């Protein structure tokens, strides 16, 4: 049976990204990032998780005890020490399911394309990457690893995502900051539609624990431009509240508040040494990522 193509990994986009890579700018676990493999490769390997066996897996990693007990074939996943270990935190709350243009991408679909590309690039350069899906809490956690089977697991998991419910990003950030055991790279893909000051405190928690942070702050173009002209009924996707308004009466105030929100988040990120990457779904995701990675490489050690 032929393999089903991945929804969020497009060969043309990967081709446009070319030889770009994602390297850290700071010292991670005592070594300068960008070197990728630790000098101690092979000397410190720890068990991370189980996953289902797929044809082609190394039988040396088969969990024979589980097989004997449950007749299920599972593979033990291990994590080698590396200079760069990344966690992708993907917001799957209801607001991420918004799109104004029926022919465009939702914010969640846009973020999923980014997560797929970043996962591919990280594993291609032999750096472990993990995926965290969150809304009010952590909905799924795939620990970092580097195998082709692991990449397949991430890409197939992205295909199953549907927008869920309300956001409590700050609580998730605090929880993940404590859960990630070694310093590394944290990539957040979210619209951050939550209480701003609490969210910023959550982001700061990562920096307090010496993680490097990249925030992809995602919007629909309509959320930035407010193109509505006629009396419109707006629906809060996370709590179902509805309100009917004449856009002409609220446009300036709305645009002012959105810009203030973005400015506050960007300022906080700059002061804390985090990358703030604003993007909207009207910009091709691969072009945006290509521009960002190119700039990042210019200022990496």
Q: What is the CATH number of the domain that holds 34?
A: 3.40.50.410
pLDDT at 122: 92
135 and 124 share a domain?
A: yes
pLDDT at 3: 67
Using alpha carbons, list the distances in angstroms from residue 127 to 24, 56, 110, 225. 11, 21, 23, 38
72 and 193 share a domain?
A: no
105 and 70 share a domain?
A: no
pLDDT at 145: 93
184 and 52 share a domain?
A: no
Residue 200 lies in a domain: yes
66 and 97 share a domain?
A: no
Residue 244 lies in a domain: yes
Provide the domain limits for residue 191.
11-41+82-298
Question: Of the candidates 206, 184, 204, which has an alpha carbon nearest to the alpha carbon of residue 31?
Answer: 184
140 and 277 share a domain?
A: yes
pLDDT at 20: 79
pLDDT at 230: 86
Residue 130 lies in a domain: yes
66 and 118 share a domain?
A: no
Cβ atoms of 123 and 149 within 8 Å: the answer is no
Per the structure, the count of domains in the chain is 2
The list of the chain residues with pLDDT below 70 reads 1-3, 23-51, 53-58, 77-83, 237, 299-301
φ and ψ at residue 114, rounded to 5 degrees = -65, -45
51 and 129 share a domain?
A: no
The pTM of the full predicted model, rounded to 2 decimals, is 0.80
Strands 232-235 vs 242-245: parallel, antiparallel or unpaired: antiparallel
pLDDT at 59: 75
Residue tagged 């998991």 (tokens):
157
189 and 55 share a domain?
A: no
In the three-class reduction of DSSP (H, G, I as helix; E, B as strand; rest coil), residue 3 is classed as coil
pLDDT at 1: 43
SS3 sequence, 274-293?
A: CEEEEEECCCCHHHHHHHHH
φ and ψ at residue 203, rounded to 5 degrees = -60, -40
70 and 138 share a domain?
A: no
193 and 233 share a domain?
A: yes
Residue 4 lies in a domain: no
CA 78 to chain centre: 22
Residue 6 lies in a domain: no
87 DSSP β-pair partners: 130, 186
171 and 123 share a domain?
A: yes
Question: Of the candidates 86, 63, 84, which has an alpha carbon nearest to the alpha carbon of residue 74?
Answer: 63
């Amino acid at each position: 049976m032929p393999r089903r193509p991945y929804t969020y990994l497009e060969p043309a986009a990967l081709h446009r990204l070319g030889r770009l890579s994602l390297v850290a700018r700071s010292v991670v676990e005592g070594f300068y990032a960008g070197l990728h493999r630790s000098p101690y490769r092979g000397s410190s390997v720890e068990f991370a998780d189980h996953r289902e066996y797929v044809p082609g897996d190394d039988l040396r990693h088969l969990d024979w005890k589980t097989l004997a007990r449950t007749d299920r074939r599972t593979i033990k996943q291990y994590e080698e020490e590396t200079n760069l270990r990344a966690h992708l935190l993907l917001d799957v709350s209801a607001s991420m399911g918004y799109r104004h243009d029926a022919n465009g991408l939702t914010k969640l679909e846009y973020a999923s394309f980014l997560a797929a590309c970043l996962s591919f690039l990280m594993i291609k350069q032999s750096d472990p990457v993990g995926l965290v899906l969150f809304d009010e809490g952590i909905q799924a956690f795939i620990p970092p690893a580097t195998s082709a089977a692991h990449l397949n697991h991430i890409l197939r998991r992205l295909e199953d995502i549907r927008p869920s419910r309300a956001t409590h990003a700050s609580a998730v950030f605090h929880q993940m900051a404590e859960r990630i055991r070694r310093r590394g790279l944290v990539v957040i893909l979210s619209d951050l539609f939550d209480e701003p000051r609490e969210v910023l405190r959550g982001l700061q928690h990562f920096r307090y624990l010496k993680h490097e942070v990249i925030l992809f702050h995602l919007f629909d173009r309509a959320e930035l431009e407010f193109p509505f002209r006629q009396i419109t009924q707006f629906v809060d996707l996370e709590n179902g509240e509805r309100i009917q308004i004449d856009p002409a009466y609220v446009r300036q105030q709305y645009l002012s508040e959105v810009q203030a929100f973005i400015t506050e988040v960007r300022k906080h990120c700059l002061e804390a040494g985090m990358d703030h990457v604003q993007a909207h779904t009207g910009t091709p995701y691969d072009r945006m990522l290509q521009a960002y990675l190119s700039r990042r490489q210019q200022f990496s050690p």
